[in-house]
Amino acid sequence: MIKSNESSQIGYITAINGSLIIVKGIEKQVKLHDLIIVSKQNILGEIIQIYNSYAVAQCYESTNNLKLNQEVISLQEPLSMELAPGLLKSVFDGIQRPLNLFDKKLNSAFLQRGIEIPSLSRTNKWHFIPHKNDGEEVEPGDIIGSIQETPLIEHRILVPINYSGVLSFIVEEGDYTIEEEIYRLKKSGKEYSLTMLQKWPITSSRPYKERITSEEPLITGIRIIDLLFPIVKGGTVAVPGGFGTGKTVIQQSLAKWCDADIIIFVGCGERGNEIADVLKEFSNIIDPKSGRPLIERIVIIANTSNMPVSAREASIFSGVTIAEYYRDMGYDVAVLADSTSRWAESLREISGLLEEMPAEEGYPAYLPSKLSSFYERAGKVEILGNNDPKRKNLGSLTIIGSVSPPAGDFSEPVTATTKRFVQAFWALDASLAYSKHYPAINWLSSYSNYLEYVAQWWYERDIHWPEVDIDWYQCRAEINVILSRENELKNIVQLIGEENLPDDQQFVIFIGKLIRESFLIQNAFDNIDNFTNINKLLGHTKLILLLYHQGQELLTQGYLLEDIKSLEVLNDIRRISHTIPNDQFDKIEKLKNKLLKDIQSIKLMYSGRKKL
């Protein structure tokens, strides 16, 4: 945030209640959501209600030691994000205060109030390469030049929204700070001087040309997601789960392995140690494609549970605003928000202080509209600006929000409301987590509305095994059928015991178990198992289905179930996930041949042992 000190409006405090203050003297001038600076202690706040004779503001920091009648200065602008090179690798709080710089400047691990540090460094020089020449005409979204922000990501400097005209000046290639003039635009006789730094208010979404239906999946490397419950780039998904069901591990796996270009990780009202974990892990993990640490594509927003709640409320919108900025450069961006329930609770807390009439469970009645204004900012879009060979003219923003329902009860207001605004739902299940089945995504209660959208994409990337000549979409359907049949049959087993089922049904249970244990269970901390690429995924799936088809055939021909169950190749299939690396697809094909050979040998060797 930058203070604009011109023509400040000054009021004074007339009441304090927790993080809320009542201000008189500026109620006629301020606009809703304008920022204020409270007292000489420099506490930042935001106007949230305006009445005839006073205004109500929430403070982003503790109000301790404030007194009545202390001055309140209106900054006459809403909470905005600073957008410029330097965002990546940074750690911000919910209102974009740079936590990494705080640590250095204060020389203390504890956060103090009223400290003013610009969100992005003003002294750091960036190597700017111009893409345009004097005299060219530009419009919003055009690339003026670029900066290698990190070795992984090129930062494209765009003409800000609301600016256009003829370039009357542009600097030469060289090193500049974000506040130095790098170009001037002339329009209708006026000349505007522009820098790399732009600002954008967090509550309004950045404009684009038009919205596009996304048909490309966001590959996550998590098998159950990529096969059964895929999402698209630009999609929305909610991940609800009680405590201990592994929400955070899933969020972190996604941040590490999903194939978005940029990750915005919003730690919203969660644990401080988790942020420390993310920082440590992401600095150590190397991106397989580029050989660079993953942290170089990440912006972290950390407003942990013990930090002020008003800033927590802002945090998810701050995150999505930064995401839109990178989307507008033509990138695929994913926002991981952990957890939206804590965000909703911050709404409830503030609403409670305001003594508003509550709707369900104390949440304010505007919870749904606030939630939708977050999730609706996701999408794949055609971005502003003229076509530029240096980028796609498409960008996408995917939102993955975890939800922490009290007592794991999915009927509570935040989960139920979120379901209305997302297209995919990965339901985490406590009983799976208790039996150490991770990721604990329940395959019966989860869903994805993106199946048809991504089917074509997968069809084009099929591995074409003549023995299992079906594509991703059909594979998925078959696996699904086996799992739900297994579930039905298990209820019967509870009553009569597994031995009393006919062989073909026992075989379904057997394959169901194989799918669960070798395919759905995935170890996020194993070096091979943590990420499964699409070829390995398809190979693994088809291998299981091949076994299923061949086994069924054998059973109908009268061969014994025990012989199929004791096939030696099964042990190898069970271990595919953590023994065969992604780049050794030929090993999976070898397993396929071994399976076919083993089945052939059952037919030859044991043909005498057929059931009569």
Partner 1 sequence: MSVIYRNIQEIVGPLIFLTNEHDVQYGEIVKIESEDGKTRSGQVVKMNEEVIVIEVFETTQGLSSENSKIFFTEDTFKVRISENDMFGRTFNSLGRPFNIYTKKILSTDIISDLELEIYGAPINPYSRDYPSEVIQTGISVIDGLFTLIRGQKLPIFSAQGLPHNKLAAQIVTQARVLTEESFLIIFCGIGIIEDEAINFLKAFRESGNIQNIISFINFASDPIMERLIIPRVALTTAEYFAFEKEMHVLVVLIDMTNYAEALRELSSAKEEIPSRKGYPGYLYSDLASIYERTGKLKGKKGSITQIPILTMPNDDISHPIPDTTGYITEGQLVLNRDLNNKGIYPPFEVLASISRLMKDAIGKNTTREDHADLSSQLLASYSDALEARDLLSVVGEDGLNYDQKALLDFGDDFEKKFLNQGTSENRNFNDTFSIAWEVLSNLSRNQLFRIHQEFIENYYIP
List Cβ neighbours of 508 (8 Å cut-off, separation of 6 or more): 482, 485, 486, 489
Whether a cis peptide bond, with omega within 30° of 0, leads into 439 is yes
Scanning 44-52, 66-74, 81-89, 313-321 for contacts with partner 1 by CB under 8 A, the matching segment is 66-74
Tell whether residue 307 is a contact of partner 1 (CB under 8 A).
yes
Give min distance, CB of 471 to partner 1, in A: 33
- Give the nearer residue to partner 1 in terms of CB position, either 112 or 124: 112
Give dist(CA 133, CA 173) in Å, integer.
12
Instruction: By CB under 8 A, name the one of 131, 406, 423, 492 that touches partner 1.
Output: 406
Tell whether residue 63 is a contact of partner 1 (CB under 8 A).
yes
Range 82-101, binding partner 1 (CB under 8 A)? 91, 99-100
Give dist(CA 467, CA 388) in Å, integer.
45
Give min distance, CB of 112 to partner 1, in A: 6
Give dist(CA 352, CA 310) in Å, integer.
13
Tell whether residue 349 is a contact of partner 1 (CB under 8 A).
yes
Tell whether residue 302 is a contact of partner 1 (CB under 8 A).
yes
List Cβ neighbours of 282 (8 Å cut-off, separation of 6 or more): 255, 256, 293, 294, 295, 298
List Cβ neighbours of 216 (8 Å cut-off, separation of 6 or more): 232, 233, 454, 457
Give dist(CA 397, CA 377) in Å, integer.
8
Q: If you ran DSSP here, which 8-state letter would residue 174 be given?
A: E
Tell whether residue 593 is a contact of partner 1 (CB under 8 A).
no
Scanning 355-363, 381-389, 418-426, 458-466 for contacts with partner 1 by CB under 8 A, the matching segment is 355-363
Question: Cα 578 to chain center, whole Å?
Answer: 26
The residue ranges of DSSP E strands in 209-331, in sequence order, are 210-212, 236-240, 262-268, 298-303
- Give the nearer residue to partner 1 in terms of CB position, either 146 or 303: 303
Tell whether residue 395 is a contact of partner 1 (CB under 8 A).
no
Tell whether residue 112 is a contact of partner 1 (CB under 8 A).
yes
Pair 220, 253: CB distance under 8 Å: yes
Instruction: By CB under 8 A, name the one of 5, 133, 273, 491 that touches partner 1.
Output: 273
Tell whether residue 355 is a contact of partner 1 (CB under 8 A).
yes
- Give the nearer residue to partner 1 in terms of CB position, either 67 or 464: 67
Tell whether residue 17 is a contact of partner 1 (CB under 8 A).
yes
Give min distance, CB of 409 to partner 1, in A: 7
* 169-208 footprint of partner 1 as x/- string (CB under 8 A): ----------------------------------------
Give dist(CA 475, CA 545) in Å, integer.
8
Give min distance, CB of 25 to partner 1, in A: 13
Give dist(CA 315, CA 307) in Å, integer.
11
Alpha helices in 136-227 (DSSP H): 223
Closest residue by Cα to residue 234 from 203, 210, 269 = 210
List Cβ neighbours of 448 (8 Å cut-off, separation of 6 or more): 228, 229, 230, 231, 237, 423, 424, 425
Give min distance, CB of 550 to partner 1, in A: 25
Q: Which residue(s) pair with 57 in the sheet?
A: 21, 47
- Give the nearer residue to partner 1 in terms of CB position, either 127 or 280: 280
Tell whether residue 361 is a contact of partner 1 (CB under 8 A).
yes
Instruction: By CB under 8 A, name the one of 435, 557, 579, 601 that touches partner 1.
Output: 435
Give dist(CA 172, CA 167) in Å, integer.
13
Give min distance, CB of 59 to partner 1, in A: 10
Give min distance, CB of 333 to partner 1, in A: 22
Tell whether residue 250 is a contact of partner 1 (CB under 8 A).
no
Question: By CB under 8 A, how many residues form the interface with partner 1?
Answer: 65
Tell whether residue 11 is a contact of partner 1 (CB under 8 A).
no
Residue with tokens 């369900």: 360
∠ CA 68-30-346, nearest 5°, is 70
Instruction: By CB under 8 A, name the one of 9, 305, 449, 505 that touches partner 1.
Output: 305
Concatenating the DSSP letter of every residue in 449-497 gives TTHHHHHHHHHTT---BTTB---HHHHHHHHHHHHHHHHHHHHHHHHH-
Tell whether residue 581 is a contact of partner 1 (CB under 8 A).
no
Scanning 202-210, 433-441, 577-585, 589-597 for contacts with partner 1 by CB under 8 A, the matching segment is 433-441
Tell whether residue 525 is a contact of partner 1 (CB under 8 A).
yes
Residues that bind partner 1 (CB under 8 A): 14-18, 22, 63-69, 91, 99-100, 102-103, 108-112, 242-244, 267, 269, 271-273, 275-277, 279-280, 302, 304-307, 309, 342, 345-346, 348-349, 352, 355, 358, 361-362, 404, 406-409, 434-436, 494-495, 497, 499, 525
